[in-house]
Structure 1
Amino acid sequence: MNPLARSIEELLPVRISSTFWCFILLRTTLVIFSIIVAFLIPFFSLMMALIGSLLSTLVAVIVPTLCFLRIVKKIVLSITTVALGIICAILGTYSSSSKSHKD
């Protein structure tokens, strides 16, 4: 929430965005809006679980390893890490989708 809140604060005039009440009200409004969206969108938890299992693994494991491979050329270790990251992403996605069918 904080990056979104900071981006919105940059759009506001400085005399408003620098106040404590703007800080509190903006973040409270964003949290309330997120809760409303979570209740209104069907299968919101499934969608968030799938996004988390796919994108988190991609951003945290696979992309940095591919960048390291490109720079240092340690092929065996990097390929092993990428393969493990892909396997974890697949297992996480499977686990997320299978839990939603049981509910």
Structure 2
Amino acid sequence: MNPLARSIEELLPVKISSTFWCFILLRTALVIFSVIVAFLVPFFSLMMAVIGSLLSTLVAVIVPTLCFLRIVKKAKTTQIVLSITTVALGIICAVLGTYSSLSEIAKQY
């Protein structure tokens, strides 16, 4: 929520965006809007599960490990094996989590 709120604050004039009330009201409005969307969109929790299982694993596990392998050119064999194992397990978890979420959506639809 915070990156979105900060982006909106940057669009507002400085006199308004720097006030405490702008901070509170903007974030409160964003939370209320999120709750409304969660109630109105069918399968919202399952869609969040799909996004979370796919993208969170990608961002938190796979990409940092691949970046490590790319940056450290002269890594030890043990580091390379553990990094490749981490990437493989991350891909397996992402695929299984996404499959589980999509099968739950298909079951409820």
Q: Same fold (TM over 0.5)?
A: yes
Quote the Cα distance in structure 1 between the aligned partners of 2:88 and 2:41: 34
Cα deviation, 1:7-35, whole Å, max 9, x if unaligned, reads: 11111111111111111110111111111
SS at match of 1:94: helix
In structure 2, the CA distance between the partners of 1:102 and 1:41, relative to structure 1 (3 Å rule), is: closer
Cα offset for 1:99?
4.2
The correspondence for 1:90, drawn from 79, 84, 95, is: 95
Task: Write the letter of the residue equivalent to 2:58.
Answer: L
1:41-80 matched pairs, under 5 angstroms = 41-72=41-72, 73=75, 74-80=79-85
CA-atom RMSD, angstroms? 1.7
Quote the Cα distance in structure 2 between the aligned partners of 1:77 and 1:88: 16
Cα deviation, 1:18-73, whole Å, max 9, x if unaligned, reads: 11111111011111111111111111111100000000000000001111111224
Q: Which residue is 2:39 aligned to?
A: 39
Q: Which residue is 1:29 aligned to?
A: 29
Task: Write the letter of the residue equivalent to 1:29.
Answer: A
Which stretch has the larger CA shift, 72-81 or 34-43? 72-81
Unmatched 5+ residue regions in structure 2?
A: none
Unmatched 5+ residue regions in structure 1?
A: none
Quote the Cα distance in structure 1 between the aligned partners of 2:32 and 2:6: 17
Task: Write the letter of the residue equivalent to 1:92.
Answer: G
User: TM-score by structure 1 length?
Assistant: 0.89
Aligned residues: 103
User: TM-score by structure 2 length?
Assistant: 0.84
